[in-house]
Amino acid sequence: MIQQEEPHYQRRIATSQFTTNISITLVLFLMGLFGLILLHARVLSDYVKENIGFSIMIREGVKEAGILQLKKTLDGKYFVKSSEYIPRERAAEKLKADLGEDFIGFLGYNPLLPAIDLRIKAPYANTDSLVRIEKRLLAYPEVKEVFYQKSLVDAINSNIEKISLVLLAFSAILLFIAIVLINNTIRLAVYSKRFIIRSMQLVGATESFIRRPLLFRSIMHGCISALLALLMLMLLIYFAVEQIPELVELQNPVMLAVLVVFLFLLGAFISWISTWFAVRKYLRMRTDLLYT
């Protein structure tokens, strides 16, 4: 009779472990998916900020060699992402294409000045920094005027700040839900082993001896679940890039590596701490309560 029940009991334990792994994997996948959204939102906000730039109008009479030297000087500044020299001829062609008519033929001359388009690094794309940068640019003798969209800068920074607060609050809520779900799943898994724990106690096993293999196994389950969740995320990224190739530009290997480490640590830690408390509960529970 006992031999007939043992395979059935082993199947129940295996099913419980499989269910636990799947549950933890799905929760970690959701956490990883939201982490990807946060990372891409950060990269996207930096991309938008770095497309905020200055149009530096050069004074009349400045030779091209002087303009190129100014461009080289600006490229070496800590706040500059990139720069592009736009001769007056190219500026005229662009304006002609935008207007749809030959304004040079109408006026008889090209009224446009040569310019340098400057792109600023994301950390300096805020109102205070841009005002200081504008003053520094106007200090160069070759520069006549500097233009940038002040209202657009304020609107972008305001919207990014609001979105960041919403995402931060939502991530905190999601993390709390993930911890609760994983904790409940592991408590149910440990519940199925409560009689094994009590049997080991009755034969004289110490609490640390009983707890150690269960904790080690829980960490392994957490790491396996994190690996499965990461594989699902990689497949999702692959299919997303297949559909939208522009997403490749938003990928940041360093940020993705941080996400990988975070998911492994989260899966291992929550599994470990949840198992520790669940095992502690059944180690100290009265025998009659094990049957309830």
Domains and CATH numbers, the chain: 2-47+156-291 (no CATH), 53-148 (3.30.70.3040)
Rg of the chain over all Cα atoms, to the nearest angstrom: 31
Per this entry, what is the length of the chain? 292
Instruction: Point out the least confidently predicted range of 95-104, 164-173, 244-253.
Output: 95-104
- Provide the pLDDT for residue 8: 52
- Contact status, residue 55 vs residue 146, Cβ threshold 8 Å: yes
- Provide the pLDDT for residue 140: 87
- In the DSSP assignment, the letter for residue 90 is H
- Provide the pLDDT for residue 35: 80
Residue 126 buriedness (CB in 10 A; 0-12 / 13-18 / 19+): middle
The pLDDT tens digits of the residues spanning 224-283 come to 888 988 898 888 888 877 877 766 766 778 878 888 888 888 888 888 888 888 777 766
Instruction: Point out the least confidently predicted range of 46-60, 66-80, 191-205, 213-227.
Output: 191-205
Give the mean model confidence (pLDDT) for residues 25-31.
Answer: 82
- In the DSSP assignment, the letter for residue 287 is G
- Provide the pLDDT for residue 206: 73
Is the model more confident about 245 or about 2? 245
Most confident of 12-16, 184-188, 250-254, 262-266: 262-266
Task: Give, in order, the Cα–Cα distances in Å from 272 to each of 13, 97, 168, 207.
Answer: 19, 65, 26, 16
Beta strands 80-86; 115-120: pairing state: antiparallel
Residue 232: name the closest of 20, 30, 19, 34 by CA. 30
Q: Sorting pLDDT into bands at 50, 70 and 90, what band is 200?
A: confident
Tokens 């890039």 belong to residue: 241
- In the DSSP assignment, the letter for residue 114 is P
Helix residue spans in the chain (DSSP H): 2-50, 64-75, 88-99, 103-107, 127-138, 150-191, 194-202, 207-243, 253-283
- Provide the pLDDT for residue 76: 87
Count the neighbouring beta carbons within 10 Å of the beta carbon of residue 113: 16
Q: Quote the pTM value.
A: 0.60
Q: Sorting pLDDT into bands at 50, 70 and 90, what band is 103?
A: low
Q: How far apart are CA 86 and CA 56, in angstroms?
A: 10
- Contact status, residue 232 vs residue 28, Cβ threshold 8 Å: no
The pLDDT tens digits of the residues spanning 217-231 come to 888 888 888 898 889
Tokens 């956490």 belong to residue: 31
- Provide the pLDDT for residue 9: 46
Kindly tell me if the per-residue pLDDT of 41 is higher than 70: yes
Q: Sorting pLDDT into bands at 50, 70 and 90, what band is 4?
A: very low
Q: How far apart are CA 184 and CA 270, in angstroms?
A: 11
pLDDT averaged over the chain?
A: 76
Residue 61 backbone class (left: φ over 0; alpha: ψ -120 to 50; beta: rest): left
Q: Sorting pLDDT into bands at 50, 70 and 90, what band is 2?
A: very low
The pLDDT tens digits of the residues spanning 55-67 come to 888 888 778 888 8
Residue 187: name the closest of 273, 278, 271, 272 by CA. 278
The residues facing 119 across adjacent strands are: 53, 82
Is the model more confident about 41 or about 215? 215
82 Cβ neighbours under 8 A, 6+ residues apart: 75, 118, 119
Q: How far apart are CA 261 and CA 277, in angstroms?
A: 24
Dihedral sign from CA coordinates of 2, 4, 7, 10: negative
